[in-house]
Structure 1
Amino acid sequence: MKRIRYTFSRTAVMAMLAAAMLATPSCSKFTELEPINTPSENSAFQSASSIELAMQGVYEAAAVGSYNGDKAAARGYPFGAAAIEQDEMRGEDMLNVAQFYAITYEGTYTPSSANNVNMWNGLYALINQTNVLIKGVQGAGAAGVITPEAAAAYEGEARFLRALAHHELLIHVSFPYADGNGSKPGVPYREKAVTSQADVTEGLSVGRGTVAEAYTKLLADLDYAETNLPATQPKGLSRVSKGAAIALKTRIKQHMQDWDGVIAEGAKLGTDKQPATHFTSPIGGYTLTASPETPFTSFKNNTESVFSVANGPNANGGTNGALPSMFGPADKGARGLVATSPLLYNASFWVEGDLRRTLLQIRQVIGEKYSFNNKYRDYVNKTDYAPIIRYAEVLLNVAEAYARKGNNAQAFLLLNDVRNRSVPADKQFTTPPADLILAILQERRIEFTGEGRRWPDIHRLALDPVYGTNGVPAKLKIGQMKLDGSDYNNVTPPVFPATGGVVAYPYTDFRFLWPIPADEIAANPLLREQQNEGYK
């Protein structure tokens, strides 16, 4: 059984147990209770200050992660960068320029390929750290080290992160909720801290369960977070708040196609109103910024970002993982590995004059003149926060729910609140389009490009008889494109060669799902019997 060692901070000693992941059988030492420069688990929860450091350690685990178990080779697993990058590379709206993401982009992953394995390991490492934190603050609250209210708030933050991590696993390893109403195999929902070999043994008995069972548990985590977290976080938008828990529930219930549930959760954040100007949440005061650029230029403090994962100059995904490195142009100091695909850039629904094309796209002028995402701009220090959920998503989640339920008037108001800040007045909708649901789904592709929302939409809509992809869409390869930038032409879009791209594959193809990693199934006989079909 491999144990992964974390010190939790590059700038301070994190009073926290090292993460023990039920992943591989290569080492007989299942957990490391005394990681480098880190006191034991028991001492981590003996004071309010050490508990706060432990909580910070959990957030850093969400942001930085490790690569093949080496934290020095951090690549932003899972939520500092990697989840966004992997979710974009599984879709068709961004273009793999080099070979760096070829396995994900082309669907050639195996139980041993690095990115899907490290995502699995990083997510379960984070989950275990949330579980250790929960166990520790429960004890600290009971012992009077901190107040019961403070303990419950810390637990709420951890439960939010635990739910977020499990959902990321579900959208890659399991079929969508719509397939069999959640009856297909889910993922192991781990709720107990691994602090001893006995815990490891017990953990090996936890199987995949069903998708529905996993969704029930993660919604319970989010309900707890909502109940016990403050409406606003004095520590900033990189710490989980009540509004973040509610906002994430709109996403989760959307994946369940629980449209009434999406509407009910959204109403807590003000989406049931008919505002004179813009929608504003009574919890957290969320409202769209005047410019679509502001959540990314003022990522530490703006009215729209509900929750983001912090990166900093000394703790980020590094040259081989950070969002500005991967998504930015090489002539600006980035690596230029992922560009915007002309499939999206030239799409007829992305109208001329849209500010998101002029402000949030940037053309490389030296070398290949691809268009790159311009949301992440700190190419030197890589401090851009990773956006997890914005108020714009809440508005569009609820807009879709209203449209699905036939309330086109409210859906139209919500859609326009997002769309109209970016679209020229002469191209704004004055009446609902004939297919309002399609317009909302298209708006999501524009608004959230470069934020990792494309794959989750492909996944949840795969079987939708009207709006589904029925699998993974075809994608462009750079060999089909010209190097002079002329392929980026939304006025007279080019026609690309019919061959030479990444061929679409259907929902029934085993590649629609990621495999459970080989090391995991080698260590866990139960999961070995529950591997996704098509993988050995």
Structure 2
Amino acid sequence: MKRINKTLILLSGLVFATSSCKDSFTELGPYNRLSEAAIFDTPENVELAANGVYSQAAIGTYAGGAGRGYPFGAASIQQAEVRGEDVVNLEQFYQITYEATYSTTSANNTNHWDQLYNLINQANLFIEGVRGAESAGIITPEAANVYEGEARFLRALSHHELLLHFSLPYAEGANAGAYGVPYRDFGINSTETVERASTVDRGTVAGTYEKILADLDYAESVLPANSPINRAGKGAAIGLKTRIKLHLGDWAGVIAEGTKLGTDATGGTFTSPIGSYSLTASPDGPFTNYSNNTESIFSIANGQNSNPGTNGSLARMLGPAGPGGRGLVSTSPNLYNASFWVAGDLRRELLQVQDETGTYRHFFTKKYTDYTTQSDWAPILRYAEVLLNVSEAYARTGNTGQALLLLNAVRDRSVPADARFTSAPTDLIQAILNERRIEFAAEGRRWPDIHRLVLDPDYSTGGIPAKIKSGAWGGVFQNDGSDYGVGKPAIAAEIPAIPYSDYRFLWPINNTEVTTNPILANQQNPNY
């Protein structure tokens, strides 16, 4: 069981540090590692340990080395985008993911699994540590509850991320009994706990979702209503539940959770009674002031003093080469030119940028722009998503009026007045799904939607969509930017679609894990 011990490292993997900025939990300088006995011996050290857990969520490592952003940073967002069709992979960095040629030893899927379970283990050990500190009278029971709520939020978020890549979608119960992912809710820091972990199997998709929701229910019950954007609060737990229940097809549940955040308002303007969340006036608001805006419910922080490095930077990895990015992944012209993305939409002007000097004169996201210090925060959950989650749930249950109000709240801040919906479009659900593709471009939300909808009788892509082939690989897509323009025809997708029935729809559990863990070896995804 050496692999489990390696992947799910104990608290020595935490980044204990002093903060140079109270608003940023990962803008940290180095701090000496503490013995496990000393980690939770003062309230200040408990807080440092919490910072370390958030730091793992932000940065992770690549093959045990430099930060890459696998749990919830650049790598996870980029992979969730390149698994879909709304971006074009321009270089070899994510070609394996883009073309679905991954294997049990390929780096991206392997590191994503490893770093998510690393975060899960750190969260579990942190929970155990704060409960010990509570028992010793070092922190109050109320403080311990909040800390545990934060850790359980991150644990739930991590297990759901694993489900999205390694398990079949719940699909309103069609795959309820399929393999989930091992739900690890205890820390691994000894021979005994390593052996205990080796007995945890994948369970079922339904069972994994039950545990995710149990963690989020607990988090909601103890977390404060008002928290910094980079700290999980009550609104984050509730908002994540709207996402989880959307993936379950629990439309009534989505609506009920959304109501807690003000989505039942009937005037067309929405403000959450918890956390006072509301849409920013302009669609770029969450990205021009990522640490202090009304829309961001939960983001993973980065800062000048502990950025994730070039290969873990949102701006570097998703931005154009001219201003300082690497020009690796551009917006697909088939999204940029799509008829449902109407002319005059501010999101083209404010959140897309054409590279004027780099090799690829394509349009890239402009959501992340700090190419120097790489301090852009990773958006995990925004109020716009909550509104669109609930909008879809209302549309699915026949309440087109409320569904349209919620859709318009997000859409109308960006589109010209003459392009706004004054009545529900013929296919309201499709309009909501189209809006998600525009609104959340380059935020890692495309693959989750493909995954959850793949068995939907009306709105499925059928599997992994066909994709444009970069001109650098001999594709028809031109590198001079001439393929972009509202109303231009679609570019031929030369990389073939992969049907849902194909084993490549799921990632494999990595080779080292299955060769050292007999339970997971017998529960590997098919054909790997």
- TM tier, shorter chain? over 0.9
**Alpha-carbon distance in 1 for matches of 2:354, 2:384:** 25
Write the deviation string for residues 225-253 of structure 1: whole angstroms up to 9, x where unpaired. Answer: 000000001xx210000000000000000
**Alpha-carbon distance in 2 for matches of 1:427, 1:105:** 34
Correspondence for 1:8 among 4, 9, 14: 14
Correspondence for 1:490 among 477, 486, 489: 486
Give the 3 Å change call, closer, same or farther, for CA 36–299 of structure 1 in structure 2. closer
**1:472 corresponds to which residue?**
464
**2:43 corresponds to which residue?**
48
Write the deviation string for residues 132-179 of structure 1: whole angstroms up to 9, x where unpaired. Answer: 011111121122111101000000000000000000000000000116
**Alpha-carbon distance in 1 for matches of 2:313, 2:103:** 24
**Alpha-carbon distance in 2 for matches of 1:476, 1:510:** 22
Correspondence for 1:337 among 316, 328, 352: 328
Give the 3 Å change call, closer, same or farther, for CA 495–266 of structure 1 in structure 2. closer
Give the 3 Å change call, closer, same or farther, for CA 240–36 of structure 1 in structure 2. closer
Write the deviation string for residues 47-72 of structure 1: whole angstroms up to 9, x where unpaired. Answer: 111100000000001001111012xx
**1:186 corresponds to which residue?**
180
**Alpha-carbon distance in 2 for matches of 1:495, 1:198:** 57
- Structure 2 gaps of 5+ residues are 20-29
Contact 1:328–1:334 (8 Å) recurs in 2: yes
Secondary structure of residue in 2 paired with 1:388 = strand
Q: Please state how far the C-alpha of 1:484 moved relative to its aligned partner.
A: 2.0
Contact 1:133–1:158 (8 Å) recurs in 2: yes
Correspondence for 1:425 among 411, 417, 428: 417
**Alpha-carbon distance in 2 for matches of 1:439, 1:7:** 45
Contact 1:160–1:240 (8 Å) recurs in 2: yes
Write the deviation string for residues 277-304 of structure 1: whole angstroms up to 9, x where unpaired. Answer: 5200000000000000010000000000
**1:106 corresponds to which residue?**
99
TM-score, normalization by structure 1? 0.92
**1:23 corresponds to which residue?**
none
Write the deviation string for residues 392-433 of structure 1: whole angstroms up to 9, x where unpaired. Answer: 000000000000000000000000000000000010010000
Q: Please state how far the C-alpha of 1:9 moved relative to its aligned partner.
A: 3.3
Correspondence for 2:342 among 336, 351, 356: 351
Correspondence for 2:235 among 240, 243, 250: 243
Matched, 1:96 2:89: yes
Secondary structure of residue in 2 paired with 1:359 = helix
Where does 1:478-517 land on structure 2 (aligned, <5 Å)?
A: 478=470, 479-491=475-487, 493-497=488-492, 501-517=494-510
Contact 1:93–1:343 (8 Å) recurs in 2: yes
**Alpha-carbon distance in 2 for matches of 1:9, 1:185:** 33
Where does 1:296-307 land on structure 2 (aligned, <5 Å)?
A: 296-307=287-298
**1:445 corresponds to which residue?**
437
Give the 3 Å change call, closer, same or farther, for CA 7–256 of structure 1 in structure 2. closer
Q: Please state how far the C-alpha of 1:214 moved relative to its aligned partner.
A: 0.5
**Alpha-carbon distance in 2 for matches of 1:480, 1:323:** 28
Where does 1:376-391 land on structure 2 (aligned, <5 Å)?
A: 376-391=368-383
Secondary structure of residue in 2 paired with 1:308 = strand
**Alpha-carbon distance in 1 for matches of 2:360, 2:392:** 38
Identity of aligned residues (%): 60
Secondary structure of residue in 2 paired with 1:496 = coil
Secondary structure of residue in 2 paired with 1:56 = helix
Matched, 1:411 2:417: no
**Alpha-carbon distance in 2 for matches of 1:52, 1:368:** 45
Write the deviation string for residues 191-246 of structure 1: whole angstroms up to 9, x where unpaired. Answer: 0100101100110000000001000001000000000000001xx21000000000
Where does 1:306-345 land on structure 2 (aligned, <5 Å)?
A: 306-345=297-336
Matched, 1:232 2:226: yes
Matched letter for residue 53 of structure 2: V
**2:59 corresponds to which residue?**
64
Give the 3 Å change call, closer, same or farther, for CA 386–376 of structure 1 in structure 2. same
**Alpha-carbon distance in 1 for matches of 2:231, 2:247:** 24
**Alpha-carbon distance in 1 for matches of 2:15, 2:133:** 22
Give the 3 Å change call, closer, same or farther, for CA 167–7 of structure 1 in structure 2. closer
**2:22 corresponds to which residue?**
none
**Alpha-carbon distance in 1 for matches of 2:54, 2:335:** 33
**Alpha-carbon distance in 2 for matches of 1:36, 1:51:** 14
Aligned Cα root-mean-square deviation (Å): 1.5
Matched, 1:38 2:38: no
Matched letter for residue 277 of structure 2: Y
Contact 2:16–2:49 (8 Å) recurs in 1: no
**2:25 corresponds to which residue?**
none
**2:275 corresponds to which residue?**
284
**Alpha-carbon distance in 2 for matches of 1:284, 1:458:** 30
Give the 3 Å change call, closer, same or farther, for CA 332–36 of structure 1 in structure 2. closer
**1:261 corresponds to which residue?**
253
Matched letter for residue 498 of structure 2: Y
Give the 3 Å change call, closer, same or farther, for CA 53–521 of structure 1 in structure 2. same
Q: Please state how far the C-alpha of 1:497 moved relative to its aligned partner.
A: 4.3
- Structure 1 gaps of 5+ residues are 14-34
**Alpha-carbon distance in 1 for matches of 2:380, 2:287:** 12
Secondary structure of residue in 1 paired with 2:39 = helix
Secondary structure of residue in 2 paired with 1:515 = coil
Matched letter for residue 61 of structure 2: S
Secondary structure of residue in 2 paired with 1:311 = coil
**Alpha-carbon distance in 2 for matches of 1:344, 1:42:** 53
Q: Please state how far the C-alpha of 1:11 moved relative to its aligned partner.
A: 4.6
Contact 2:300–2:380 (8 Å) recurs in 1: yes
Write the deviation string for residues 484-518 of structure 1: whole angstroms up to 9, x where unpaired. Answer: 21100112x135346xx211010000000000010
Count of matched residue positions in the alignment of Structure 1 and Structure 2: 506
**Alpha-carbon distance in 1 for matches of 2:122, 2:15:** 14
Contact 2:88–2:329 (8 Å) recurs in 1: yes
Q: Please state how far the C-alpha of 1:42 moved relative to its aligned partner.
A: 2.2
Where does 1:366-405 land on structure 2 (aligned, <5 Å)?
A: 366=357, 367-405=359-397
Q: Please state how far the C-alpha of 1:80 moved relative to its aligned partner.
A: 2.1
**1:31 corresponds to which residue?**
none
**2:264 corresponds to which residue?**
272
Matched letter for residue 9 of structure 1: V
